A and B are shown apart, each in its own frame.
Chain A
Amino acid sequence: MLATDMYKFRNYLRETGIIFCYSGYMTEDVLLGLGKAIKQKMVMDDEDKETAKAVFSIFVEQVQNVIRYSAEKETKDDVAELRYGVLTVGRQDNKVFVTCGNVIRNEDRERLKKNLTNIQKMNKDELKKLWKDTLRGKIPDGSKGAGVGFIDIARRTCQGFEFDFSEVDEEISFFTLKAYI
């Protein structure tokens, strides 16, 4: 039973094209370790350097978003807090994807949606301008909206990104962003 369930779970992941899956508390150490494995897999798959670097870069921004902003967190005394998220990296129709999901507070949803929709519609030059303005602190970053990390993801995706929200209750929603490279 144990092995059957786990095998089913693995097959489900495989059928959906997922190569890597991590669900749990995300830390900078997790980022470093997973990042290395992803890099290694990209080399093994003979991905071109450009794709491999874009995948890694989007992976870093996605995970750091969780580490900084996931609303699902655990704190204890003075131990650094842990934030929960789900990350998958896979391949679908010849494209690599990096998907990341985490809990957000409903009060942040509209702003996040508005910012991401805005970024999604931007062309290369508009994204560059927004990126520079944000780097220079002309546009507030670090807020729970679309920070420089999301702009970076938008600049790096070759095939765009999609995002979605699923309301959990009146307090929180589950947010997911999938970027295609």
Chain B
Amino acid sequence: METIIIKATERSPEVNFDFDANTFAIKGESYPEDVTEFYGDLLLKLELHLSNLNGETVNFTFELIYFNSSSAKVLMSLFDMLEEIAEEGNTVNVVWLYESDDDNMEELGEEFGEDLEAANFKMKTTEG
């Protein structure tokens, strides 16, 4: 599938889905006007692609500044999707990047990450 690159706006994140490399990233603010319109198609394509993987390595990076509760639903389904393909035998590396002084984003990362068992999960600060 062709790489999807979406530029960030004030209220929607930068998206970089490189299907061939199995490298995916979502970065920035996420409170789009219409969550379904923004994420719906992306999630469908991702799910279709991921469900066909067998013994591959998938890297997914989240680097969010702020997300609203509707976006949180999307994040939860992404995490669940990644855990599922890890359970099926793929190597899944999830990285949650946050600014070191953003305790809330750190906590949210921990909350999403704690449900991952088969997938690898790492928290990192954006400062490195």
Tell me the A residues contacting B by CB distance below 8 Å: 28, 32, 49-50, 53-54, 56-57, 60-61, 64, 128, 131-132, 135-137, 147-149, 151-152, 156
Please, how many angstroms separate the alpha-carbon atoms of A126 and B68 in the complex? 20
B45 adjacent to chain A (CB < 8 Å):
no
Please, how many angstroms separate the alpha-carbon atoms of A131 and B11 in the complex? 22
Besides the known contacts A61-B68, A148-B73, 14 further A-B residue pairs in the complex with CB atoms under 8 A apart: A49-B101, A50-B104, A53-B104, A54-B104, A57-B66, A60-B31, A64-B70, A128-B111, A132-B76, A135-B72, A135-B75, A136-B80, A152-B68, A156-B104
A-B pairs with beta carbons under 8 Å apart, 12 shown: A32-B11, A50-B104, A53-B66, A56-B66, A60-B31, A61-B69, A64-B68, A135-B72, A136-B76, A148-B69, A148-B70, A152-B68
Please, how many angstroms separate the alpha-carbon atoms of A148 and B68 in the complex? 10
Please, how many angstroms separate the alpha-carbon atoms of A56 and B30 in the complex? 13
Tell me the B residues contacting A by CB distance below 8 Å: 10-11, 31, 33, 66, 68-70, 72-73, 75-76, 80, 101-104, 111, 115
**How close is B126's CB to chain A, nearest CB, in angstroms?**
14
In the complex, which residues of chain A have a beta carbon less than 8 angstroms from the beta carbon of B115? 132
Please, how many angstroms separate the alpha-carbon atoms of A54 and B102 in the complex? 11
Nearest residue, chain B, Cβ from A149: B69
Contact status of A135 and B73, CB under 8 A, knowing A49-B102, A50-B104, A60-B31: yes
In the complex, which residues of chain B have a beta carbon less than 8 angstroms from the beta carbon of A137? 73
